[in-house]
Amino acid sequence: MVLCIGPESSGKTLLLKKIQDPNYVDNTTTAIPTVGTNILNLKIEDKIYTIREIGGSLASIWSKYFENVGKVMYVIDASNLCQISAAGVLLYTVVAHPLLKNARFLIVLTKMDSSYRQMRNEALLMLQMKRLQREIQQKITIIEASAINGLGRNDILKWIVES
């Protein structure tokens, strides 16, 4: 099971839709934040991968879903300067959770199509990624993405498939 988490409105739902269907174009005028969880089944080369998205408003109870999670996809809005540091603090608590000590982590810096995006290095600095990687033993992969133009889609699929 892959868990997809991250702050509210960081772009999880749209990204997952884009991953499921590369031709997906979002026509909704109002985004409805995910309340509760969304389950998505991805078929990649005849294998089914289950992804569970949990809304950012449920951050306090994310850990209820950590059982049997092998991979965590942590989605951060790279265009939202105010959110990045807070997202990093939240990420620390997730990575430190005992149930996830053997999990693989993917940090998705999304909305990279936005002109307000933070450059990768600045975002990683704000997330204190160097320090985090020093302190933990889990493997962290970082991918830049966009649900609008499909950037990062192939790399994310590869990460989901690789064991």
Ligand X SMILES: Nc1nc2c(ncn2[C@@H]2O[C@H](COP(=O)(O)OP(=O)(O)O)[C@@H](O)[C@H]2O)c(=O)[nH]1
CA 128/CA 118 separation, integer angstroms: 14
Residue 22 binds to ligand X (criterion: CB under 6 A): no
CA 47/CA 57 separation, integer angstroms: 31
The label of the residue with tokens 């693989």 reads: 104
Q: Which residues, 80 to 109, sit near ligand X by CB under 6 A?
A: none
CA 158/CA 122 separation, integer angstroms: 25
Q: Which residues, 38 to 57, sit near ligand X by CB under 6 A?
A: 56
CA 102/CA 137 separation, integer angstroms: 8
Residue 11 binds to ligand X (criterion: CB under 6 A): yes
Residue 117 binds to ligand X (criterion: CB under 6 A): no
Is position 11 annotated in a ligand binding site? yes
Residue 14 binding result from Mg ion, ligand X, none, given CB thresholds of 5 to 8 Å by partner type: ligand X
Residue choice 34, 80, 83, 146 for contact with Mg ion (CB under 5 A):
34
Cβ within 8 Å of residue 26, ≥6 positions away: 14, 17, 147, 148
Which among 60-68, 91-99, 121-129, 145-153 is the span making contact with ligand X, rule CB under 6 A?
Answer: 145-153
For the annotated binding site, the residues are 6-13, 34, 56
Site of interaction with Mg ion (CB under 5 A): 12-13, 34
